[in-house]
Amino acid sequence: MHDARVLIEMGDGAVRRLARRGHTLDISSLESLLSRRNKSVRSGDELRAEAKRLAREVQQTAKQGGDIAALKEAARTAKEQIRETDAEQAKLQQELRELLLSIPNLPADEAPDGDSEDDAVEQRRVGEPPSFDFEPRDHVDLGEAMGILDFGRATKLSGPRFSVLRGVGAALERALAALFLDLHTRRHGYVEHSVPFLVTRGTMTGTGQLPKFEEDLFRTAVADRDLFLIPTGEVPLTNLYADEIIPPAELPLALTAHTPCFRSEAGSYGRDTRGLIRQHQFAKVELVRICAPDRARAEMAEMVGHAEACLRELDLAYRVVTLAAGDTGFAARLTCDLEVWLPGQAAYREVSSVSDFGTFQGRRAGIRTRDENGRTTPAATVNGSGLPIGRALAAVLEQHQQADGSVLLPGSLVPYLGFRRIAADGTPAGT
């Protein structure tokens, strides 16, 4: 969320920057609403001062034996005016909050122009996409032939865009999560958390999912409780520090969690409906860093490296791109995607997004720290996937497939699995 005064001071600059991401900012309406809110606040303060003056005058006049009827009537009128002014102020404050909640973050100057994935700018490629002397299969064909992926029974249970992993497939899923968590906690210094998967409306609002993306969320209502299934571990991890002041000496905070994620994917039907790429329920290891505002970009670069480490451990070819301003998420000011090569699609596909939010989430969630002068200020947040389990599993199957229908797994997974190869019949083979 923005500070309305900052947007107004930026004026046309804020309008131009938000236009890069397709948002039209009506700066005059914002200025008018803020002015009316401030005027209402001043009126309320003046009326309260007048009410206190009248109360003192009533006491003094009563002590002197004077007539207080007119003074009491004036005091009653002042109290009524205070109630009316407070109601108006609350209404204007809510209107201002709703307007500010609807304005996306200002894109960074480094974000290229454009509004689609085709406008992303490639930063680097790591590893060579594997070449095969046979026609490579996608992870769906591979997994179903092995008997380790079952989409048909998942559909029977829950409808389309769910999956069941069986035997070695389930073990591989568990091994990937363990590998990623060990990398981030033992090598990269993150603190692992186990967090709730159901959160409040306020928690969703703090990280920017609400109010804009309510149609993309799964919601549950039991009795009088209004709770949402988390779309990403970013939501509970970031909001752990909502409405708190974090001492500067404790920053940066580095948090990680392995959670399920639930997304309705509203508006995406027809895209990536096959396989593990875009599902209603999937698992992910999430990374969150909370830091001083001037450290956000450096922390983002460090996190990109942490996500890349997961791909290198799996011997996967990938590339890093910077998303265009119009394709950057609502709350982010700059996003780098890691895209892994999928032979079954003969294309690079997103496997991790790492975003710098600046103080946007900190302001919304009330996550604060102190500046060099000891004054409270919103903290900055950075988050990224490190990594989604399903997409990583799909890439491992596809990039490491063999001509005989087996998959030769990367050595980093052997300590977690106890075997090196998944045979064509889905059984473990080799050590």
Tokens representing 198 are: 């159901």
Tell me if the bond preceding 260 is cis, omega within 30° of 0. Answer: no
Among residues 40, 163, 353, 385, which one is catalytic?
A: 353
Q: How far, rounded to the nearest angstrom, does the alpha carbon of residue 372 sit from its chain's CA centroid?
A: 28
Known catalytic residue at 263: yes
Among residues 50, 57, 350, 370, which one is catalytic?
A: 350
Residue in the block written with tokens 């063999």: 402
Tokens representing 145 are: 């032939």
End-to-end Cα distance, the chain: 52
Among residues 161, 263, 319, 349, which one is catalytic?
A: 263
Q: Comparing C-alpha atoms, which of 196, 194, 7, 36 is closest to residue 102?
A: 7
Phi, psi of 427 (to 5 degrees): -100, 155
Q: What distance in Å separates the CA atoms of residue 206 and residue 69, rounded to the nearest whole number? A: 51
Q: What distance in Å separates the CA atoms of residue 387 and residue 383, rounded to the nearest whole number? A: 12
Known catalytic residue at 124: no
Q: How far is CA 294 from CA 4, 361, 364, 404, in A?
A: 21, 15, 18, 53
Please count the CA atoms within 13 angstroms of the CA of 230 that sit on its side-chain side.
25
The residues near 302 (Cβ < 8 Å, ≥ 6 apart) are 289
Q: Comparing C-alpha atoms, which of 194, 182, 345 is closest to residue 276?
A: 345
Beta bridge partners of 169: none
Among residues 391, 398, 406, 421, which one is catalytic?
A: 391
Dihedral in degrees, nearest 10, Cα atoms 150, 151, 154, 155: -150
Q: Give 29-37's long-range contacts (Cβ < 8 A, gap of 24+).
A: 29/99, 30/4, 30/99, 33/92, 33/95, 33/96, 33/99, 34/4, 34/5, 34/8, 34/96, 36/92, 37/89, 37/92, 37/93, 37/96
Among residues 37, 137, 278, 368, which one is catalytic?
A: 278
As annotated, the active-site residues are 263, 278, 350, 353, 391
